Amino acid sequence: MSALWTSAEIEAATGGKANVAFDATGVTFDSREVGPGDLFVAMPGTVHDGHSFVTQAFASGAAAAVVSQPVDGPHVLVDDVAAALTAMAITARERMKGTVLGVTGSVGKTSTKEALSAALERSRRGPVHKSVKSYNNHTGVPLSLARMPREAVYAVLEMGMNNAGEIAALTRLVRPHVAVVTSIAPAHIENLGSIESIADAKGEIFQGLEPGGTAIIPEDSRQRDRLVRAARDHAERVVTFGLSQDADVTALHAVRSDAGGYLITARLMDSELTYTLSQRGEHWVTNSLAVLAAVEAVGGDIAAAGLALADMGGLKGRGERHKIELENGEALLIDESYNANPASMAATLKSLGVEDAKRRIAVLGPMRELGEHANDLHAGLAEPVLEAKVDHLILINGDMAPLANALGEQIAIDRAATVDEATELLLAMLRDGDAVLVKASNSVGLARLVDRVTEAGVPCST
């Protein structure tokens, strides 16, 4: 592999000093991810200091490390490791001459980022870089930029936030040509106080737009006009997407396909496209429209984007589907364990409701960072649960009590204090023909339940 970074380039970017010359083919700050040729960035942390893992990184094949204290092995010595990573991010962005797309939103930003990357890759014009996992914060975004190949034709970078001002700082690093806001929902409302403040914080992404840039905004959001006002100060063009026929990019027709996804005819800014969407759930129809709006904005191949949307598989923790082999048949588990807020809970419950199943089971844990609104928003899930015709609920943690109280005796409910207890309850009740939805905020740890239950299962593409 060609060098992603040379020691001389790192010195120039950070002002640090290399003890020997070296080349690095990758960058990481997680010692568990280090592979041969990687640059290990020894980030300080509140729990662990990366310097404690430098030896482990070298044992895993690291080419060198960025450190603030001398170590045995090739390294660049800097005053501040976090600042050095940001400096490398700035340099990486400056040397990349391709098109950069930024994605944020309360719901669907990682899924949309993945779908957009796949759509651009299908054009086959050159390398497409993207944020790994959900690396979207003050350390994840600089890392994603530092990993960006200089020859990348496109880069799709995700930006998230917990507080006002955070996306403003990130977008000025990313400097997108196209900025997408997927949705506005009461995620992080504990910190921001109101849905309007959430919209303002997400709208900060437009502040980093390059001259001539495009803002892509959800037409169906109640915060649509607020986002448009924020975008007009920075964008040359504002494009809206959504199911409303007033949107610039909309679905003229969207019908469920035999495979479980959708067959969609979309009206774009300059054309129409009929395509198949492999992903299930009405929210994915909207996500796909945002993807097509972005591809069209950068002059990408719309037809190729449609093919990519047809071929997308499930995303771990975000709708990946597993067949669970049982003694007397099989069940389906839908893994939505990565994160949750009121909008995504309602959307995925709706998807469960259209599953052709003998019995529908939902394993739900609490939604975090809702503050004083938490009880009302958890209780508000009762209507989506009932509309989805859920037969049995397993609720984890006392924070789900408002939902249990709102449902009363309308549905069978089991309560579990821990993820392990919920796992045992689910394993004991699973039978042939069940469809199971698993969803909670990531900090609840429902991925452990998914791993245990799917040990004998296999991912399925339908």
- Tell me what the mean pLDDT of segment 126-130 comes to: 92
pLDDT band at 112 (very low <50, low <70, confident <90, very high): very high
pLDDT at 461: 44
Q: Is the pLDDT higher at 257 or at 444?
A: 444
Q: Residue 252 above 70 pLDDT?
A: yes
Closest CA to 350 of 359, 362, 339, 358: 362
- Tell me what the mean pLDDT of segment 167-179 comes to: 98
pLDDT at 1: 61
pLDDT in tens, 199-231: 999 999 999 999 999 999 999 999 999 999 999
pLDDT at 457: 53
Which residues are known binding-site members for ATP? Answer: 105-111
DSSP one-letter code for 415: E
d(CA 96, CA 289): 27
Q: Which domains does the chain have, with CATH numbers?
A: 5-81 (3.40.1390.10), 96-311 (3.40.1190.10), 320-460 (3.90.190.20)
- Farthest CA pair distance, the chain: 70
Of 39-48, 182-191, 258-267, 284-293, the range with the lowest mean pLDDT is: 182-191
pLDDT at 186: 81
Mean residue pLDDT across the chain: 93
- Tell me what the mean pLDDT of segment 260-268 comes to: 93
DSSP one-letter code for 227: H
d(CA 213, CA 303): 23
Q: Residue 161 above 80 pLDDT?
A: yes
pLDDT in tens, 338-378: 888 888 899 899 989 989 899 999 999 999 888 888 999 99
Residue 445: is it exposed, middle or buried by C-beta count within 10 angstroms (0-12/13-18/19+)? middle
Which residues are known binding-site members? Answer: 105-111
pLDDT band at 45 (very low <50, low <70, confident <90, very high): confident
- Whole-angstrom CA distances from 366 to 182, 198, 337, 417 are 23, 20, 11, 12
pLDDT at 369: 83
pLDDT in tens, 274-295: 999 988 888 899 999 999 999 9
* Residue 301, token pair as written in the block: 């191949």
pLDDT at 189: 74
Percent of the chain whose predicted confidence (pLDDT) is above 70 = 97
pLDDT band at 262 (very low <50, low <70, confident <90, very high): very high
Residue 410: is it exposed, middle or buried by C-beta count within 10 angstroms (0-12/13-18/19+)? exposed
pLDDT in tens, 19-35: 999 999 999 999 999 99
pLDDT at 203: 97
d(CA 160, CA 156): 14
pLDDT in tens, 73-105: 999 999 999 999 999 999 999 999 999 999 999
